[in-house]
Chains A and B, each alone.
Chain A
């Protein structure tokens, strides 16, 4: 028993253990999602994150220790974003005819993402500082944090809200589009990328490559537009 404990103590300090757990929790969550015929609430990111958080809390492991292993997976986000160019290129001909509808939809989606967060949060009694931290939630993490800091929000809260918005977009996106009777993968994907950035983009890719391409585009565009619009909305509302 003592020996086993010593092995645990050794392994718990090694990056390999938490890297293995990150990938395993994803494999398990992905398997569960497919088994449950893609039941929305069993979204792989949501399930894998929940499993891992429970495991970290149960073993009393800090995030720093966990991240020493998980960083190898986290690092791949950058290269994966660059690779979004390939599905995007495949849609380029169609995109060239659609730049105006996409631009208007982006503007509408970006403004509603920012303004509705402030309106609902205000109605629910959240403080101005929390409201400012909520505004950029639909943008990708680095941009959202930059915006929150500039507006005087709390960057660490924003980091949490971004993850929540992404998971919400990934969970709600496809069922909502089905409810709307939407058939066009471009519409599904673009809305998911704008409202739920990379996490919803990942879900869109599981739906179809075309949806994924449009989601990646929506994510990239909304990151920039949120950075420009959020300060404007904050100023208009006197926040």
Chain B
């Protein structure tokens, strides 16, 4: 398990370093994720210890967003005069984007997913 934790941290570190070096608009951990996918392809799958680690952490992904979410209190004052307009905008826009993405993907997948290969 310790080896797996070291591997994950190292991949994140490499990801962050690559992003700093290249200035690419990708989060460092996402680069780490892509590197891990590549490693898994080379290896032909994750070892059980890594799967367990992923299951544990990803099963409680919601928990990890709480500190950032609470950070909103530092900026509540900034929104005092326009919180309603801003809230309506964010909710409506997120709804539209959800709909547009899902409808497009559904339409294209139902046209025959086998054709595109």
Contacts and interface: CB of A to CB of B under 8 A. Distances in A.
Given A177-B102, A191-B101, A134 B94 contact: no
Contacts of B24: 224
A210 interface: no
Contacts of B15: 82
Interface of A: 22-23, 25-26, 30, 44-45, 48-49, 52-53, 56-57, 63, 66-67, 70-71, 73-74, 76-89, 92, 96-102, 104-106, 108-110, 112-113, 116-117, 120-121, 124-126, 130, 134, 137-138, 140-143, 146-147, 154, 156-157, 159-161, 163-169, 172-173, 176-177, 180, 182, 184, 186-188, 190-192, 194-196, 198-199, 201-203, 205-206, 212, 216, 218, 220, 223-224, 227-228
22 contacts: A26-B62, A26-B63, A26-B66, A66-B70, A74-B67, A78-B12, A82-B33, A83-B54, A86-B50, A89-B46, A112-B97, A113-B97, A117-B89, A117-B93, A156-B75, A163-B68, A163-B69, A180-B102, A186-B109, A203-B62, A223-B30, A228-B25
B26 to A, nearest CB: 5
User: What range describes how many residues of B lie at the interface?
Assistant: 35 or more
B25 A146 contact: yes
Contact of A202 (B25, B36, B65, B95): B65
B59 interface: yes
Nearest to A140: B27
Interface of B: 5, 8-9, 11-12, 15, 24-30, 32-37, 40-41, 45-46, 50-51, 53-54, 57-75, 78-79, 82, 85-106, 108-109, 113-114, 116-117
Contacts, number: 320
State the majority secondary structure of interface residues on B. Answer: helix
A168 to B, nearest CB: 4
Given A79-B8, A172-B91, A195-B101, A97 B117 contact: yes
A70 B66 contact: yes
**Nearest 8 pairs of A and B residues by beta carbon:** A109-B101, A227-B25, A85-B36, A101-B108, A81-B29, A202-B61, A70-B67, A113-B97
A201 B34 contact: no
A70 B9 CA distance: 19
